[in-house]
Chain A
């Protein structure tokens, strides 16, 4: 397992890789037009390494806009095109609302908050 943490002042990205094809990505802070660029780079890196199963934990993501949504859609497209998948965990009510407005709740694989699961 490799651990990689990067910070901009508003978004912290933590990536745990396991095996050849799996990664857990945790976002903490705000994902919007001003913080989205480094995340695109991180995902591109995963693509180069052949990682096609990505779990994206959004429990600590406080804010997201449509630019953030766009990077997530792109990552969904990428993983599925590589015969893998993107699973999104624990978005807050606010972030979940954004997925719903964009019609993405029926398209992406979104798992609810841990408390609500089971």
Chain B
């Protein structure tokens, strides 16, 4: 059985020329008959797949592929290989993922539809994810390829703060999205899987633009610092308030929630700093919000009010949808807000028990953008955590 030839890759230092990535992948798959490789990276708005520039010759000139309507897009959405018969062989599109983060799509041609070769090419997509992730740590080129249009300074800073948008493990899977992707400033989220605790934070710095992005940087840095010190939820909550107050003197505020999910037991705990309550999803329906008595937003500096730590026992398959008020209350210049009722109905309509977190948040964001004719007045962020259950 033909195999991927990893020796050249493992023996050589990784090239930092992005245009050499498709060629490297082609040589790794040479024994399988892999040809005409194109690497697509998904744009920040997750609407288009952008081809990575390369100097090799192609049967067709690589161009942007829309996620919603193309074969490449179908591979991206389904996270499964997609094939099409061509006169020269079989054209194959496989997802590129960095761990579980959906990075893009790898397109290539195989001589025939041999299932073993197809399966090996699916692994080539996973390998491509690692190659790109490693190179992207020391190069701007990959980041630039993911931009459909110019990005504000605030948005550029904001994206650099974020963890990978998607995460998946056997016990818990998550996905987050921010819009407007190229002008976002102020909203952010973070997570960390510190077994058996999955840590989550969502934050909304009041205001918009650069000031908010700088404040988010401070808030997120403080959260990570405290989390790495093993602080309990209530302690992290109070420290965030103190740090933002000491820096902004009561003139800058951040709303948000901090949560910890024990992925072995489903026990979820969270605190609330003046932020819209997360929604509890069960069996494809929103069954209520996850109430927690709010403290005032972080940064007001109310040391006397102890944060309430709420808790609930999740059932296997339950989802928790964190969001910022830009999703429900944001408005286009003349329009009506999307509203909480519409959000709840939408989650119920989309058979969300059948879909993965990535597709749920992507579809919600699409609907919110359509509602506002693609023009959002405020940052809108969604972060969905789905607990599969232990074993």
Interfacial residues, chain A to chain B (CB-CB below 8 A): 32-34, 65-67, 69-70, 73-74, 77, 81, 101-104, 106-107
Contacts and interface: CB of A to CB of B under 8 A. Distances in A.
Contacts of A69: 206
Residue of B206, B272, B294 with most chain A CB atoms under a 10 A cut-off: B206
Interface in B270-290: 272-277
Nearest to A69: B206
Nearest to A102: B274
B255 interface: yes
A101 B296 contact: no
A107 B305 CA distance: 10
24 contacts: A32-B331, A32-B377, A33-B378, A65-B325, A65-B329, A65-B330, A66-B204, A66-B206, A67-B208, A70-B207, A70-B253, A73-B253, A73-B297, A74-B250, A74-B251, A101-B276, A101-B294, A102-B255, A102-B274, A102-B296, A103-B293, A103-B296, A104-B274, A107-B296
Given A67-B206, A103-B273, A103-B293, 4 more contacts: A70-B207, A77-B250, A103-B272, A106-B296
Contacts of A106: 296, 305
A65 B328 CA distance: 10
A73 B300 contact: yes
Interface residues of B, number: 29
Contacts of B305: 106
Interface string B251-280: 101010000000000000000111111000
A66 B255 contact: yes
Interface in B296-321: 296-297, 300, 302, 305
B137 interface: no
B292 to A, nearest CB: 10
Contacts of A73: 250, 253, 297, 300
A15 B276 CA distance: 32
Nearest to B329: A65
Residue of A77, A101, A104 with most chain B CB atoms under a 10 A cut-off: A101
A44 B207 CA distance: 17
A66 B273 CA distance: 13
Given A33-B378, A66-B206, A70-B206, A101 B250 contact: no
A65 B325 CA distance: 8
A102 B293 CA distance: 10
A76 B320 CA distance: 34
Given A33-B377, A66-B325, A102 B294 contact: yes
B109 interface: no
B333 interface: yes
Contacts of B46: none
A73 B255 CA distance: 13
A18 to B, nearest CB: 27
B301 to A, nearest CB: 9
Given A33-B377, A33-B378, A66-B255, A102 B297 contact: yes
Nearest to B299: A73
Contacts of B333: 34
A48 B169 CA distance: 56
B295 interface: yes
B377 A34 contact: yes
Contacts of B296: 102-104, 106-107
B206 to A, nearest CB: 4
A103 B294 contact: yes
A83 to B, nearest CB: 15
In the A-B complex, list the 6 residue pairs whose CB atoms are closest, starting with the nearest.
Answer: A103-B294, A102-B274, A70-B206, A103-B274, A77-B250, A103-B296
Given A65-B325, A66-B204, A103 B295 contact: yes
Nearest to A64: B329
B297 A103 contact: yes
A88 B264 CA distance: 47
A77 B277 CA distance: 26
Nearest to B293: A103
A38 B302 CA distance: 28
A11 B142 CA distance: 44
A102 B329 CA distance: 14
Nearest to B273: A103
Nearest to A100: B294
A107 B300 CA distance: 10
Contacts of A74: 250-251
B207 A65 contact: no
Contacts of B294: 101-103
A77 B31 CA distance: 70
B238 to A, nearest CB: 14
B372 to A, nearest CB: 13
A72 to B, nearest CB: 11
